[in-house]
Each structure stands twice: as C-alpha cells, then as structure tokens.
Amino acid sequence: MSRITLADVIAALGGDLVGASDIEITRLGPLEGADSGTLSFLSNVRYQSQLQSTAAVCVIVAPAFAEAAAARGAAIVTPDPYLYFARLTQWWAARVRPQATPRIHPSAVIDPSAVLGEGVDVGALAVIEAGVTIGPGARIGPHCVIERDSQIGAGTRLAARVTVGFDSRIGARCIIHGGAVIGADGFGFAPVKSADGGRWEKIEQLGAVQIGDDVEIGANTCIDRGALDDTVIADGVKLDNLIQIGHNVRIGAHTAIAGCVAIAGSTRIGAHCTVGGAASIVGHLQIADHVHISACTLITRSIAKPGQYTGVFPFDDNASWEKNAATLRQLYSLRERLKALEKKL
Amino acid sequence: MSRITLADVIAALGGDLVGASDIEITRLGPLEGADSGTLSFLSNVRYQSQLQSTAAVCVIVAPAFAEAAAARGAAIVTPDPYLYFARLTQWWAARVRPQATPRIHPSAVIDPSAVLGEGVDVGALAVIEAGVTIGPGARIGPHCVIERDSQIGAGTRLAARVTVGFDSRIGARCIIHGGAVIGADGFGFAPVKSADGGRWEKIEQLGAVQIGDDVEIGANTCIDRGALDDTVIADGVKLDNLIQIGHNVRIGAHTAIAGCVAIAGSTRIGAHCTVGGAASIVGHLQIADHVHISACTLITRSIAKPGQYTGVFPFDDNASWEKNAATLRQLYSLRERLKALEKKL
Amino acid sequence: MSRITLADVIAALGGDLVGASDIEITRLGPLEGADSGTLSFLSNVRYQSQLQSTAAVCVIVAPAFAEAAAARGAAIVTPDPYLYFARLTQWWAARVRPQATPRIHPSAVIDPSAVLGEGVDVGALAVIEAGVTIGPGARIGPHCVIERDSQIGAGTRLAARVTVGFDSRIGARCIIHGGAVIGADGFGFAPVKSADGGRWEKIEQLGAVQIGDDVEIGANTCIDRGALDDTVIADGVKLDNLIQIGHNVRIGAHTAIAGCVAIAGSTRIGAHCTVGGAASIVGHLQIADHVHISACTLITRSIAKPGQYTGVFPFDDNASWEKNAATLRQLYSLRERLKALEKKL
C-alpha cells in the first residue's frame, strides 16, 4: 500500500482541512490510544475532553469543534463527522485490503444451468445449483450453498459458509456474513389431536425469501422462507448476528436490528425502525414506521405510534432483586390493600 | 407440473366438495391476497370476515362454515381445516417441487467403512466419516459433516451444512435444517481454585446425542452431547431455529419449541409441551407433560402441574416504563410502608 | 481399548484408594443409573443420599464422605472430587476415543503461502487462505475456512465448519466448536439523515479478533472483528454455544459465559466473571472482575463491585402473572397514592 496523506483523504471525501495537507496517515483510530499517524474523529460530545489529550495527528470534527481541534493540530471540518468517518473507513478498506482476484476455484460445484454475471468470483468449494443466476461482480465465499432457482444481485457478497435456499431472491450490493441461513423452512405444524396427547403434522413451506438491495445480514442469522407468501426484507435493512426472522415476516426499508433478536412469524415491521439486541416480537403484529424497541424487550401487541418502547426488569444486586421480585408476586393484592385503606379514609 | 383440479385434491386427501370438481388450482394461499386460482382455508374464527371478501376459487372450511363458504363459491368441508391444509401442503410440495435425483456426488468424501442404505442421496462435498450408517432413502446435503460411528435413520433429510457429531443416533424421517450442530461438547468445566482467581478444567463430554423419529430441527440450532449419559430428544419433537439444548437435556415426545430458546444442562422437559420463542429454562429442572411456557419467560424452578406459565415485564412506552421500573426497586419497601399504614388503622 | 482398573486411575491421577486396586472400570457415570462397572463421583452434598443406593463399583469422594463411601464399597478419596473427575474424563477420553491420524486430506484447499506446523491435521475440504500460519499439532476440521493472514496456535482444535476471519489470532490449546464464526464484521453504520427517513452508511470494520490461550468457543457462537481496534478474548475464557460478542468487546481471563448471551460493542468484562445463559450486556460498559450475572438478566450500567447481579421477572402461572403484570403498569401511581395516604395520617 502506498503512502496516504491528508490531501488524498480530502481529494476523495471532501471536508475543510485545517493544517498541512502532506501529513501522512498510517491508521484510523479512536481518540483514545491514537498515535502520531492516526486520523481520528469526534462525533459524540461525551468524548469532547479527549480532544485535548489525544495524540492523533488529525481529528475529524464538526464546525462547533473546529477551533478547539485546530488549537491542538490538524483537523478536517465537516458537518457530520461520524458519516464522514464511515465513508473514510470504506475508502481506507478499499486501499489497504488485498483485492480478491476474480476467479472461480476449480473445486466449486456449479450446475451447468447456472448463469454467472461478468466478474463473478466464486470461492473454493461453493455449490451453485441448477437455475441459479448470479449478477455481475458478485462474490460467493468458500463452502456457500446456493440452492436451485435462486438469484443473487449484482455486487452482492456472501462470506464463507452461507446458505441461500431455493427460489430466494437477493438484491444488489448486499453483504451476507458467515453461517447465515436464508430460506430454511418456517416453523409450521398443524396439531393432530388424539387421546394420547397428539402430534404435529408438518405444513410444507411453499413461499420463498425476498431480500432487497443494500441489505446486510449478520453471521449465523436465519431468515425462514414463507409458508405460502414470501418473507420480505426491504432495501437498506441491516441485521446483526444470530437473529431469527420467522416465516412471512416483512421488514420495512432501512430498519436496523441488533444481535440475537427473535421475530416470530407474519409480523410486519415498518421502515426506519430500530430493534435493540435480544429483543423479541411475537407473531402476527404490525409495528409502525419509526418505532424504536429497547434491548431485551418483548413486544406482545401491535404498535401504531412512533416512539421508544421498553419492557425490562431493571437489574440490581441479587439480594435487592430477590426482595423486590418476591414482592412482585403480591403486587395485585398490594393494590387491593391500598384501595381498601383509601376507602377507609 | 401438470394441471391440478379440485378432483385431484379430493382424491388424494378426502373431504366433502361443494362445487365443480374440474376447477383448476394454481396455488395455495391465505384468504387475503388470494386470486382466482387460489385454494385457501379458514381455520381461525378470527379471519371469518375474510371469507366473503376473498377472491379464492375454493376455501377449505369446517362444517360450521360450510354454508357461508358455499354461498360464495367452491368449498372443501372437513372437520379440521388446518390439518387438512397441512396435508395439502405436503401433497402440493411433492407435486410441484423438482425431485432430487438420487446420487452421491463425486466430490463427497465418504469413509469406505460407512454403510449407505438404498437410495441414499449424498450431496456434493459432504463428509461421511468411518463407521457411519445411513438408512435407506436418507438425503445428506452439501457440506454436511457426519462424524464417525453416527447413525442416520431411513428417510431422514439433512439440509446443507449440518454437523452430526460422533456416536450420535438420529431416527427415521427427521428433517435437520442448515447449520445445525448436533453433538458439540456440552459446557462442562470444574473450577480450579487458586490465589490468583482460578481457572477452568475441561470435563470431557463422554455422552452422545440420541434423536427419535419424526423430529424436525431448525437452522443453526445446537444440541450438545451429554457429559456422561446422552442428551435425548424423543419422537416427534419439533425445534425451531437458533435453539440451544444443553448436555443431558431430555425432551419428551411431541414437544414443540420456538426459536431462540435456551435450555440448560440436565433439565428434563415432558411430552406435549410447548415453549415460546426466546424463553429459557435453567439447568437440572423437571418440567411435567403438557406444560406451556410463554415467550421470553425464564423458568427457574421445576413445574409439576400442566398449564401455562409466564414471566415477562410488560412493555410500555419508554417514559411510562421508566417511571414504573424505577419504582420497582422500592417495591419491597412500599409493601413495608403499606403494612405500617394498615397497622396504624 | 484395553482393560482399565482402579490401579490405572490412581497411577494416572493420584488420590487415596479405599478397596481393591484390580477392580475393572468400564464406564464413568453419575451415581444414579450406575452399574457394577461404573466409576462415579459425589461432588455436591445435595446428592449425598444417592451414595448408599448407587450400584457404582467405586465412588470418588471428599475426605468428609470417605467413611460413608467405604461402608458401601470401593472409593477414591481426594480433596476436590469434581476437579478429580474432570481430569478423569480427560484421561478416559484419551484412552477410549480413536486417535485422529495426522493427515491433510487431498481435497483441502491450502494456499501455498500458508505455513503449517509439524503434526498439523487438516481435515477434508478445509480452505486455508494466503498468509495463514498454523501452529504444530493443531487440528482443522472438515469445511473450515481460515481466511488470509490468520494465526492458529499450537495444539488448537477447530471442529467441522468453523470460520476464522482474516487477520485473526487464536492462541494455543483452544477448542472451537462447529459453526462458530470468528471475525465477521461488527455491526457499525452511520445514519445518513434525509427527508425520507434516512439510511445507513456502512463503517468498514478495520480491526481484527485476538483470542488467547486455552479458550473454548461453543457451536455457532459469533465473535465480531473490531471497528478500529481489535476484539479481545483473554486466556482461559470459556464461551458456550450461540453467543454473540460484538465488536471491540474485551473479555478478561478465565471468565465463563453460558449459552445465548449477547454482549454489545465496546463493553469490557473483567476476569473471573460468570454470565448466566441468555443474559445480555449493552454496549460501552465496564464490568469489574469477579462479577456474576444471572441468567436472562439485562445489564444496562457499568458494574464496579464484585457480586451477583440479577434482573428477571419471576415466572408464575399465567393467570397470576397477568394480574400482577397489569398492576405493574400502575406501580408509580400506587407509590404516589401510598405517599398521599402517609401524609394524611
């Protein structure tokens, strides 16, 4: 990798430079722990005090902090430092990471009916079944399995060990991390009643999965195929690791969901929502646009109004928790006793 | 796929037909969104109002709705429409999905001592180790790994990227979805005390996993091998995605467990239970037959009595939650204050 | 496997034998269900009553139980029976399990620049990319993918289907179970505001993952790479299955974390901590050494003081829960009413 200077950064990403343009940058990093080759950023007022103490050679700041930053060294001034920094990481990664050589490894098993676009890079030992179409510039990592009649959009990237089930459609410029399973059967069974307690009869899952453009899907996340209609993930959705998306769920555009969230079947989540880690949403609900669900919260009813929703037992030292939790079992009767007292007075 | 008529459906699955038997069916679907080729069903009284408005060409209904259904078009009348529909999806899938050609792809790595039953279809790049026995008609997807001395029952189907650990026994007609790991080590360590805070000594997990017949296991679900005895999943159990089953757990027949559930070691769950999504059960408990655990509930004591059990903090808008949650920390003292007031009066 | 006697066990592991040294042992097992070839152990006073009824041919006990154990048959007396038993399982497994033959299967895809130590056993179909170094005696299971420039320490063992992302460093004697994904991208996006609700801009994750010595990582567990700095797992940490470790998390030495736990980005957990199953910790917190977090608890603030912390809604039969949970929504107003009553009196 060649020498990178602040001039290169400004040329690529804009911003107002305060300081010498020939300063060399050797790494990106947080204010804390920065060294004399570090380009850093200040996006959260909480870390403001680190601005004076950091050893970073240059700091990306908002106009409000331009003076304070300039007083200590070079700075790039831009209206949204965090967004600037995001773009900087992309530009940086493109420069410093070795470029994958476009290739289809001879060990890959590709059905002759599969259609591979220009510049498609299929990694070693990938399995591409019959009827698959892969858009130009897509990358399929080692040990991926793309089942029959699926479509992978242009420029989409599958890490190692991803499954895309039959009939699935994945849009352009998506990133799917390792171990994700797209298009496994939804969890659908009809109860068969009988005197001995009964059993479950499988409902074959006849729908598929549709994923829009610019979607990112985390490692070991599962998105089930629909029972009759499809499961649908709209454009720009970001899903973290180990998330479960049940059959026929629909997630609106640009919604972001943190790790370990479980969303049960047929629930529809609006656009521009956020869901905190390990939250759950039961099935057959409607969640409006711009709803924000806190971590570890179970949503049990539809939500029509934008806003933040929470349902978490606040943690405490174990002894205090035990006292309060035990009393919780008497809460209804405490209310009745309070009512009785109020009546008396 | 050839033309499918209501006569074909009735011939295969029974039921009383109201209407013309030569009506063609092009898809199965819910009442909402149905078109003039859709065969639909009404199994939940809640959706009764959709019966009049649906464009479905035929609706499967219970006798109570026979008249209302017939008034709008063709109908199939059957005592349990949901079960009828489940069987219909199976019959439909068998007709419309391309049949896998029985084959062992040359890239599969099969130990010469492995015994493969008649009609076994081993996908590309599967690894079958020494001493493995696979029953007739089983299907092993690409990138599966079946470790030494395991048994896979007749007609059992492993999707792509499933691990079956050594010594595991899986029954007949099971379905195991992508990424599932059967037979990883249980989480067992003995603490080694020392002045510097200690460390953990591994307990080798010497047991295995036994899975009965007709079990379904979801994507990326993990079932650990036992520490000394085996982990046992009985016949007809249905497990959704991303479930964790600890070592030496025993799950009784026909119990169904939704996604993201965690069951800690040595717990025994009865038959015909249901466990809601993201619920957890701590270790060494006994759960009776016919117990139903709600989503997101943590079970901390054994349950001897059938019934529904719940423990969830009800969600609210964040501001209301904050007020109530903060007060929760004073709940015990509130009770004491209430008692004091009662005494005074 | 040859005949194993109590003399062999004592020779290998020490302890004071009470009884005949030529007694043959055919299995290790719990007190309950033991047979006349079983070597068992009593480590928990709770199971003391099983000592008299067990059919085990020999029981490992602490000095306090030596007399009671000897009264019923052979015994091994040792200060810490559970730790003795842990070492016994290791010795037993080494004797009874078939030894893997060191080999690199010809189907493995190994970049010519990879450096493999002496006695490295690479399983069938593994993919080892450019610049990888694997220490002597390591074992890499089938369908593993080790991306460029990673290091795997001496004696470390990867089960089937593990991903190690580029630039990751894994120490010596680690065990990584099937389906684990080390080094997927952390979940990092900058919001791009706009009139239509906005979208997310990816922050490239430029850090890596560092894992110490003697770490065990469970099946399908995910450890994300850092955004700028690395994600760090210290020596002796034990992680169960289906755990999510966000970017830049740091976990101190000898901390043990049970299944399905979610730890959000940049949180630092001390040494010698334990985290119960399905617990969650939000991002950017500091957890001190020797903190113990109960199952299913959400930690929302830093913890400076060692101890046990809990936050769980106690479960109840559903009807009782409903009454109490509904009242919970009025808790704050109940407190206000109580205050008002107190004032009146």
Per-residue pLDDT tens over the stretch C157-215: 999 999 999 999 999 999 999 999 999 999 999 999 998 889 999 999 999 999 999 99
Tell me whether residues C335 and B334 touch, CB distance under 8 A: yes
Facing A178 at nearest CB: one of C148, C181, C206: C181
Shortest CA distance from A89: residue in chain C: C204
The last residue of a domain, from among B75, B96, B117: B96
Give the model's pLDDT for residue B1: 55
Q: Is residue B283 part of a domain?
A: yes
B249 and B125 housed in the same domain: yes
Residues C105, C143, C177, C247: which is the catalytic one? C247
Phi-psi region of C290 (alpha: psi -120 to 50; beta: other; left: phi over 0): left
Mind listing the pLDDT tens digit for each residue in C209-251?
Answer: 999 999 999 999 999 999 999 999 999 999 999 999 999 999 9
Q: Is residue B250 within a helix (H) or strand (E), and if so which, with residue range?
A: strand B250-251
B48 and B174 housed in the same domain: no
* Chain C residues inside the 8 Å CB shell of B109: 105, 107, 124-125, 142
Q: Return the percent helix, strand and coil in chain C, to nearest 5.
A: 20, 30, 55
Spatial CA neighbour of C174 closest among C209, C139, C132, C222: C139
Torsion of CA B42, B43, B49, B54, to 10 degrees: -20
**Could you tell me how many CB contacts below 8 A there are between chain B and chain C?**
230
Q: Which residues pair with A263 in a beta bridge?
A: A245, A281
Tell me whether residues B216 and A202 touch, CB distance under 8 A: yes
ipTM field? 0.94
Q: Is residue C1 pLDDT above 60, yes or no?
A: no
Residue A73 tokens, joined = 């060294």
Helices B331-344 and C331-344, packing angle to 10 deg? 30
Mind listing the pLDDT tens digit for each residue in C291-306?
Answer: 999 999 999 999 999 9
Q: Is residue A215 part of a domain?
A: no
Give the residues of chain B that fall short of pLDDT 70.
1, 100-102
Tell me whether residues C199 and A328 touch, CB distance under 8 A: no
Query: What is the percentage of chain C residues whose pLDDT exceeds 90?
Result: 88
Shortest CA distance from A240: residue in chain C: C187
Spatial CA neighbour of C275 closest among C246, C322, C243, C321: C243
Torsion of CA A122, A126, A130, A131, to 10 degrees: -40
Distance from CA of C156 to the nearest CA of B (A): 14
Tell me whether residues A28 and C228 touch, CB distance under 8 A: yes
Shortest CA distance from C199: residue in chain A: A254
- Is B272 an active-site residue? no
In contact, B221 and B238? CB cutoff 8 Å: no
Tell me whether residues A262 and B254 touch, CB distance under 8 A: no
* Chain A residues inside the 8 Å CB shell of B241: 181, 184, 187, 222, 224, 244
In contact, B218 and B243? CB cutoff 8 Å: yes
Q: Is residue B104 part of a domain?
A: no
Facing C177 at nearest CB: one of B185, B278, B324: B185
Instruction: Identify the DSSP state of B124.
Output: T
Tell me whether residues B328 and A314 touch, CB distance under 8 A: yes
Q: Report the C-alpha gap between A64 and A82 in whole angstroms.
A: 14
Distance from CA of B93 to the nearest CA of A (A): 7
- In degrees, rounded to 5, the angle at the alpha carbon of residue B161 between the alpha carbons of residues B160 and B167 is 115
- pLDDT (mean) for A44-64: 93
Q: Is residue A261 pLDDT above 60, yes or no?
A: yes
Count other Cβ atoms within 10 Å, centred on residue A305: 9
Tell me whether residues A201 and B87 touch, CB distance under 8 A: yes
Facing C241 at nearest CB: one of B201, B224, B310: B224
Q: Which residues pair with B191 in a beta bridge?
A: B200
The last residue of a domain, from among B96, B128, B156: B96
B205 and B270 housed in the same domain: yes
Three-class SS state of A36: coil
Count other Cβ atoms within 10 Å, centred on residue C3: 9
Query: What is the percentage of chain C residues whose pLDDT exceeds 70?
Result: 99
- In degrees, rounded to 5, the angle at the alpha carbon of residue C209 between the alpha carbons of residues C207 and C211 is 155
pLDDT category, A344, cuts 50, 70, 90? Answer: confident
Tell me whether residues B335 and A338 touch, CB distance under 8 A: no
pLDDT category, C100, cuts 50, 70, 90? Answer: low
Q: Report the C-alpha gap between C290 and C308 in whole angstroms.
A: 9
Spatial CA neighbour of A152 closest among A130, A141, A129, A168: A168
Distance from CA of B111 to the nearest CA of A (A): 19
Tell me whether residues B203 and C89 touch, CB distance under 8 A: yes
Distance from CA of C260 to the nearest CA of B (A): 7
**C-beta contacts of B188-195 below 8 A and 24+ residues apart:** B188/B227, B188/B247, B188/B265, B188/C86, B189/C86, B189/C238, B189/C256, B190/C80, B190/C82, B190/C83, B190/C85, B190/C86, B191/C82, B191/C83, B192/C83, B193/C80
Shortest CA distance from C178: residue in chain A: A179
* Chain C residues inside the 8 Å CB shell of A322: 310
Chains touching A (at least 3 CB pairs under 8 A) are B, C
Q: Is residue C322 pLDDT above 80, yes or no?
A: yes
Q: Is residue C84 part of a domain?
A: yes
Domain that holds residue C90: 4-96
* Chain C residues inside the 8 Å CB shell of B331: 331
Give exposure, C74-111, as e/b (b: 16+ Cβ within 10 Å).
bbbbbebbbbbbbbbbeebeeeeeeeeeeebeebbbbe
Distance from CA of B143 to the nearest CA of A (A): 7
B119 and B200 housed in the same domain: yes
Residue from C105, C163, C318, C321 to probe the interface with A (highest A Cβ count within 10 Å): C163
Which DSSP string corresponds to B173-222?
A: T-EE-TT-EEEEPP--EEEE--TT--EEEE------EEE-SS-EE-TT-E
- Residue labelled with tokens 């990481």: A89
Tell me whether residues A190 and B83 touch, CB distance under 8 A: yes
In contact, C237 and C270? CB cutoff 8 Å: no
In contact, B287 and B299? CB cutoff 8 Å: yes
Give the model's pLDDT for residue B336: 92
Shortest CA distance from A262: residue in chain C: C260
Instruction: Identify the DSSP state of C3.
Output: -
Give the model's pLDDT for residue A76: 97
Residue A28 tokens, joined = 């990106």
Facing A330 at nearest CB: one of B214, B325, B335: B335
C-alpha gyration radius of chain A: 26
- CB-neighbour burial class of residue C253 (10 A; exposed 0-12, middle 13-18, buried 19+): buried
B55 and B144 housed in the same domain: no
* Chain A residues inside the 8 Å CB shell of C188: 86
Q: Report the C-alpha gap between C202 and B175 in whole angstroms.
A: 37
- In degrees, rounded to 5, the angle at the alpha carbon of residue C240 between the alpha carbons of residues C125 and C245 is 85
Q: Report the C-alpha gap between C76 and C92 in whole angstroms.
A: 16
Give the model's pLDDT for residue B100: 64
Please report the sign of the dihedral spanned by the C-alpha atoms of residue A324, residue A329, residue A335, residue A336.
negative
Tell me whether residues B310 and C316 touch, CB distance under 8 A: yes
In contact, B202 and C216? CB cutoff 8 Å: yes
Spatial CA neighbour of B127 closest among A240, C178, C125: C125
B236 and B338 housed in the same domain: no
* Chain B residues inside the 8 Å CB shell of A326: 332
Between residues A196 and B318, the one the model is more confident about: B318
* Chain A residues inside the 8 Å CB shell of C184: 159, 177-178, 218-219, 241
- Residue labelled with tokens 């859709």: B38
Distance from CA of C286 to the nearest CA of A (A): 15
B285 and B174 housed in the same domain: yes
Query: What value does the mean pLDDT of chain A take?
Result: 94
Could you tell me the pTM of the whole model?
A: 0.95
Which DSSP string corresponds to A221-282?
A: -EEPPPSSS-EEE-TT-EE-TT-EE-TT-EE-TT-EE-TT-EE-TT-EE-TT-EE-TT-EE-
Distance from CA of B103 to the nearest CA of C (A): 20
Phi-psi region of B266 (alpha: psi -120 to 50; beta: other; left: phi over 0): left
**Could you tell me how many CB contacts below 8 A there are between chain A and chain B?**
229
- CATH code for position C73: 3.40.1390.10
In contact, A102 and A121? CB cutoff 8 Å: yes
Q: Is residue B102 part of a domain?
A: no
Query: What value does the mean pLDDT of chain C take?
Result: 95
In contact, A236 and A216? CB cutoff 8 Å: no
Instruction: Identify the DSSP state of A2.
Output: -
Tell me whether residues C326 and A332 touch, CB distance under 8 A: yes
Q: Is residue A131 part of a domain?
A: no
Three-class SS state of A72: coil
Facing C187 at nearest CB: one of A259, A289, A321: A259
Tell me whether residues C280 and A295 touch, CB distance under 8 A: yes
C-alpha gyration radius of chain C: 26
Give the rounded distance of the alpha carbon of B251 from its chain centre: 12
Q: Report the C-alpha gap between B203 and B200 in whole angstroms.
A: 9
Helices A81-96 and A6-13, packing angle to 10 deg? 110
Facing C218 at nearest CB: one of B184, B203, B314: B184
Tell me whether residues B142 and A148 touch, CB distance under 8 A: no
- Residue partners of C214: CB distance under 8 A and separation at least 6: B199, C171, C172, C173, C174, C235, C236
Tell me whether residues C216 and B222 touch, CB distance under 8 A: no
Spatial CA neighbour of A82 closest among A51, A61, A52, A66: A61
The last residue of a domain, from among B96, B120, B143: B96
First vs last C-alpha separation in chain B: 82
Residue from B164, B274, B310, B330 to probe the interface with C (highest C Cβ count within 10 Å): B310
Chains touching C (at least 3 CB pairs under 8 A) are A, B
Give the model's pLDDT for residue B45: 85
Shortest CA distance from B259: residue in chain C: C260
Give exposure, A7-35, as e/b (b: 16+ Cβ within 10 Å).
ebbeebbebebbbeeebebebbbbbeebe
Chains touching B (at least 3 CB pairs under 8 A) are A, C
Mind listing the pLDDT tens digit for each residue in C134-162?
Answer: 999 999 999 999 999 999 999 999 999 99
Q: Is residue B184 part of a domain?
A: yes
Q: Is residue B103 part of a domain?
A: no
How many structural domains comprise chain B? 3
